[in-house]
Amino acid sequence: MKNIIPLYPIKSLTLSSALIALLTLNGCSMPPKHTQKAPSSKQPSYSPSIIKNTPKPQIKAEDLITLSDVELNVQASIAQEQGEWPNFILLNHQLWQDARETKQAQIEQRIWDAISQQPLQEIKRTVQTLKQHPSTSVQQWGKLLSVLKGPAEKLQKNLAKLSRSNSDAIYMQHLLPGITMQNNNVTPPKHIAVLLPFDGKYEHVSSQIKSGIMKAFMASDQRTKVTFHNTSNLDRLENIYQQAKQTGADFIIGPLRKEAIDRLISIADENVLALNQIEYAPFTQFSYKSANEISQLITRFKAKNYQNIGILSNDGRVDAKMANNLKTAWEQTAGHSAFLSIYPDKKPKLRQALNALINEGKSKERYDTLRRATGQKLAFFPRTRQDFDAIVIIDNATRMAVFKPQFVYFDLKTPIYGTAQISPKKPHKIKSNRDLAGVQFLAHSVVFQPKNLTSNFEAFGWDSFQVAANLHSLKMGAYLAHGKTGELTLKDQRIQQNLIWATYNRKGKLIPLAE
């Protein structure tokens, strides 16, 4: 009888019963010394660091042979669900060995779809995991992932090298030939026409984007011709597009306004890079704000084994929406909890917002109750909740600087996180900022590699030129490693920005953080 091999422990462990803690009053007149954080009632009964560092059991070749196709598929589904990619690959390799050619192609595609449809930082970690595995078959998929999901500028060169060095890999049978065949006839553009509104309220933004495009052009080999066209008059937009095509433009950057993009959706031109985002368009879209900050926050928090987070946000439409979406997304994982405190954007009372988050009011209520019971005036300092693994503040740098001293006052050692709102807007004039020392936030890459760029919109223009020049490689799965607004990838015809993590050190200098 065949044996079902136990591949690895299930990650979704049963949570421990809720802890019951007595509420006590700290009667000292000075702020309490920082004590070790008590575990949240939602924390599981195991140590996250132990789980993280425990090596996953590796499948042995002799065990694979004993499994039926049904058993292999079941185990492969479990491995995929839990992100155990080496085991997932080995199980599918065993299925591939005895499959017919059509089925083999499907298995190759299944493996690729599973390991490649992850956020960029997860893909980077997966590449390292696969390359370090003892099985050659697993290593080969790590190499494929590192090439097709690697730097766009090196894609063609690395593909040729991969084909020579991994000719016996199963993906050389169907998957990779199919991918390369789709892109064999794709060439970089020779003439880019840029459609921007240079009059009216968008004039300043368009001028900065144009400046960024020209700076990227001057830094290139300058083989691509670039022309600019004023699309302020929406009624003439389609005529301007047709004139640009008739004069030899084989690629279009723009338009910028959403209503202008709507005017071009009837034109199924895949060689268009719109500089905004609408619900649907038959061409690639690249928005100035195309970073998925929530995804990056969650990825970072999970890597640090956080479970309970606090969120502070103003009630402005954009920030409040992001705060609620972050809370919802974080709580979708078992064992994760989030507490949200929202304050008015107009005439904000930031102290009250933080008090609501850390339960200072409840500590004051306990003090008042005890004072009335004893009839004496007692020395008092509020005991606040200390169970947050991190606190996210969704607001601008000015308000973040107001919040931060209060953390010191309450002796809160909780890590503080911010969003791209804190990222400097003028990369060529970054000032020191000790008020934000230690705050971790998402930033545009240009703040560390300005390359004579003077604004984030210039960085956006620079990146739009680079995307146009490398769109064929992005469509194959590669990413732009040196984008000025972030590392750039393409998914579902939309360019996505992967921002970098930054902070200010004790001297107030802006520095990058490791992923």
- pLDDT digit string (tens) for the chain, length 515 residues: 444 444 444 333 333 333 223 223 333 333 343 444 444 434 333 233 333 334 456 666 666 777 888 999 999 999 999 999 999 999 999 999 989 999 999 999 999 999 998 888 889 999 999 999 999 999 999 999 999 999 988 888 898 899 899 999 999 999 999 888 766 666 789 999 999 999 999 999 999 999 999 999 999 999 999 999 999 999 999 999 999 999 999 999 999 999 999 999 988 798 999 999 999 999 999 999 999 999 999 999 998 999 999 999 999 999 999 999 999 999 999 999 999 999 999 987 887 888 888 765 444 444 455 455 565 564 444 455 668 999 999 999 999 998 888 887 777 888 999 999 999 988 888 989 999 999 999 999 999 988 899 999 999 999 999 999 999 889 888 999 999 999 999 999 999 999 999 999 999 999 999 87
Question: How is 80-102 classified by DSSP, letter by letter?
Answer: HHTT-HHHHHHHHHHHHHTS-HH
For residue 170, report the phi and psi dihedrals to the nearest 5 degrees. -65, -30
pLDDT of amino acid 369: 55
Domains of the chain (ranges; CATH) run 51-183 (no CATH), 186-285 (3.40.50.2300), 293-452+500-512 (3.40.50.2300)
Separation between Cα atoms, residue 149 and residue 498, nearest integer Å: 14
What's the pLDDT at 51?
33
- The whole-number pLDDT of residue 490 equals 93
pTM, 2 dp: 0.76
- The C-alpha atoms of residue 300 and residue 289 are separated, in whole angstroms, by 20
Q: Is the dihedral of CA 110, 114, 120, 122 positive or negative?
A: negative
Distance of CA 329 to the CA centre of its chain: 13
Side-chain-facing half-sphere of 503: CA atoms under 13 Å: 13
SS3 call for 188: coil
Give yes or no for a cis peptide into 255 (omega within 30° of 0). yes
478, 151 Cβ separation under 8 angstroms: yes
